[in-house]
């Protein structure tokens, strides 16, 4: 008997369906690319005008000519780069003579009978006020004594009258400390400087951005740590009313 021949399926091969789908997707992809490459002139002009209203193109030359929006609204905006406008030196142009400031500080301390607790000197950094530990804190503590508040309020009054930056330094003697709150003299000295700044700022409504707190531990003694009196002198808080011309980089 003769075998029956398989009937061939009519129509295109099955792989043509997949091929057609792929070609359709490629066509759609190129149509999208073309549509995104066409710039809408009206939208572009609207975006340009919105930038003009923010004064971006008024001060700097542009390759595209635009109408000045300030003329449309009848307003003229000052150029911040004109003379008398922006200054790289900052807004505080008044410089305080540090020698005169020292005289005023010393007079202030004398009038307020504070010479026994605060000494004022002058060095490259500015006017330096030194407060001994015994007038501010208990031994190995960073919480201000109640008796320290009256003259710290007067120091705040003094600082509120001048614009200078203020650096508050904490110093300790060479005796080691190690407890839960202060593992070393670094933490103790930094905490004391922060306590003084916090009281000055909160009590006298001073700008906290003017202040810097630094803890030096026992690394900067004024006298050798050899006697009880010397140890006491090294335990201190220093308030530096900074000279604007002084740079901290000069100290290193």
Within a domain: 85: no
Inter-axis angle of helices 149-160 and 98-111, nearest 10: 150
Per the structure, how many domains does the chain have? 2
| 221 vs 78: which has the higher pLDDT | 221
Confidence category of residue 22, pLDDT binned at 50, 70, 90 = confident
pLDDT of residue 18: 83
- The H or E element containing residue 168 is strand 166-171
Within a domain: 88: no
First to last CA, the chain: 110
Write the pLDDT tens digit of every residue in 173-202: 999 998 889 999 999 999 999 999 999 999
Three-class secondary structure of residue 41 per DSSP = helix
Check which CATH number belongs to the domain holding 244 and give it.
3.30.1330.60
Query: Do 216 and 138 fall within a single domain?
Result: yes
pLDDT of residue 169: 97
The CA distance from 53 to 38, in Å, is: 26
Say whether pLDDT at 144 is over 80. yes
Burial 42-65 (b: 16+ CB within 10 A, else e): eeeeeeeeeebeeeebbeeeeeee
Q: Which residue has the tokens 């007079």?
A: 107
Query: Do 67 and 112 fall within a single domain?
Result: no
| Spatial contact of 226 and 185, defined as CB atoms under 8 Å apart | no
Most confident among 22-26, 47-51, 166-170 (mean pLDDT): 166-170
Query: Do 214 and 107 fall within a single domain?
Result: yes
Strands laid side by side in the 211-215 sheet: 118-123, 126-132, 236-242, 166-171, 211-215
pLDDT of residue 32: 78
Domain that holds residue 170: 98-251
- In 52-157, DSSP assigns E strands to 118-123, 126-132
Q: What is the mean pLDDT of residues 148-172?
A: 93
Residue 222 CB contacts under 8 Å (≥ 6 apart), including other chains: 233, 234, 236
Q: How far is CA 112 from the centre of its chain?
A: 35
pLDDT of residue 251: 55
- This prediction has a pTM of 0.61
Query: Do 62 and 102 fall within a single domain?
Result: no
Query: Do 158 and 236 fall within a single domain?
Result: yes
Phi, psi of 210 (to 5 degrees): -80, -10
- The H or E element containing residue 236 is strand 236-242
| Spatial contact of 153 and 171, defined as CB atoms under 8 Å apart | no
| 164 vs 68: which has the higher pLDDT | 164
Residue 163 structure tokens: 């614009």
Query: Do 241 and 119 fall within a single domain?
Result: yes
Q: Which of 241, 247, 200, 210 is nearest to 99 (CA)?
A: 241
Write the pLDDT tens digit of every residue in 87-138: 444 334 355 688 899 999 999 988 988 888 899 999 999 999 999 999 999 9
pLDDT of residue 112: 87
The CA distance from 11 to 182, in Å, is: 89
Confidence category of residue 2, pLDDT binned at 50, 70, 90 = low
Query: Do 113 and 62 fall within a single domain?
Result: no
Q: Which of 173, 175, 170 is nearest to 215 (CA)?
A: 170
pLDDT of residue 60: 46
Write the pLDDT tens digit of every residue in 42-86: 666 666 666 555 544 444 454 445 455 544 444 454 544 444 443
Pairing of the two strands 126-132 and 236-242: antiparallel
Query: Do 45 and 114 fall within a single domain?
Result: no
pLDDT of residue 97: 84
């Amino acid at each position: 008997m003769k075998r029956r021949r398989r009937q061939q399926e009519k129509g295109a091969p099955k792989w043509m369906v997949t091929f057609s789908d792929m070609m359709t997707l490629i066509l759609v992809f190129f149509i999208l690319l073309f549509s995104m490459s066409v710039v809408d002139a009206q939208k572009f002009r609207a975006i340009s005008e919105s930038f003009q209203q923010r004064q971006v193109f008024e001060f700097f030359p542009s390759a595209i000519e635009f109408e000045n929006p300030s003329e449309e609204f009848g307003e003229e905006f000052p150029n911040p780069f004109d003379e008398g406008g922006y200054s790289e030196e900052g807004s505080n142009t008044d410089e305080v003579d540090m020698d005169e400031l020292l005289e005023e500080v010393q007079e202030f301390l004398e009038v307020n009978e504070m010479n026994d607790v605060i000494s004022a000197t002058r060095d490259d950094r500015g006017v330096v006020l030194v407060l001994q530990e015994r007038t501010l804190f208990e031994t190995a503590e960073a919480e201000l004594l109640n008796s320290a508040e009256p003259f710290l309020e007067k120091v705040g009054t003094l600082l509120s009258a001048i614009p200078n930056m203020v650096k508050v330094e904490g110093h300790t003697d060479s005796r080691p400390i190690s407890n839960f709150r202060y593992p070393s003299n670094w933490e103790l000295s930094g905490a004391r400087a922060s306590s003084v700044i916090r009281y000055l700022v909160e009590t006298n409504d001073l700008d906290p951005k003017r202040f810097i707190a630094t803890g030096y531990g026992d690394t900067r003694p004024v006298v050798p740590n050899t006697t009880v009196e010397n140890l006491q002198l090294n335990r201190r808080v220093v308030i530096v009313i900074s000279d604007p011309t002084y740079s901290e980089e000069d100290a290193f």
